[in-house]
Amino acid sequence: MDITYTKQGDYYYPDLELPLQPTEDIGRFGRMRKKFLKEHQPDTFALMLMENTLTQHLIDINRQAIEQIDLITSQLAKAEGVTEDLKARDQLGWIRAMNSCRIRAEEQVIREIVLE
C-alpha cells in the first residue's frame, strides 16, 4: 500500500481518503442490531467499524428482517383464517388479527435475526 503525502508549510500530511459508505437508511431493525452489537458484542462491533462493514451489515439485517416479517405475517394470517372475507365483514376484527400476527412475527424475527 503506497501512501502519498502533501507538504503544507513545514509538515507532510498523508493523503488519506475514506471509502464510500452506503447511503441507504439502516432502519429500525438495523438500529436495534447496532445497539445489540455495541452492548453485547463490542469486539465484533469494533471490528466491523474498523473494516468499514458495519453500515452494510445493518442495512442487510434491516432488509432481511422486513422480508421475514412480511413472510411470517402472511403465513400466520393464512393459518388463522384472516382473509379478505373477514376484512369485508369485520374490519376491526381483521385489523386486530393482522396486528396480532405482525407483532408475533416481529418478536420472532427480533429473536432470530437481530439478537443472534
Q: What cell numbers appear for 31 in the block?
A: 438500529
What is the domain count for the chain? 1
**82 located within any domain:** yes
Q: What is the pLDDT of residue 1?
A: 62
Q: Where are the alpha helices (DSSP H) in the chain?
A: 27-40, 42-50, 54-79, 84-89, 91-109
Would you write out the chain's pLDDT as a tens digit for each of its 116 residues? 688 999 999 999 998 887 888 888 999 999 999 999 999 999 999 999 999 999 999 999 999 999 999 999 999 999 999 999 999 999 999 999 999 999 999 999 999 999 98
Question: Taking the CA of residue 29 as centre, how many other CA atoms within 13 Å lie in the half-sphere pointing to its CB?
Answer: 24
Can you tell me which residue has the cell 388479527?
Answer: 97
Which domain covers residue 76, as residue numbers? 32-114
Q: What is the pLDDT of residue 7?
A: 93
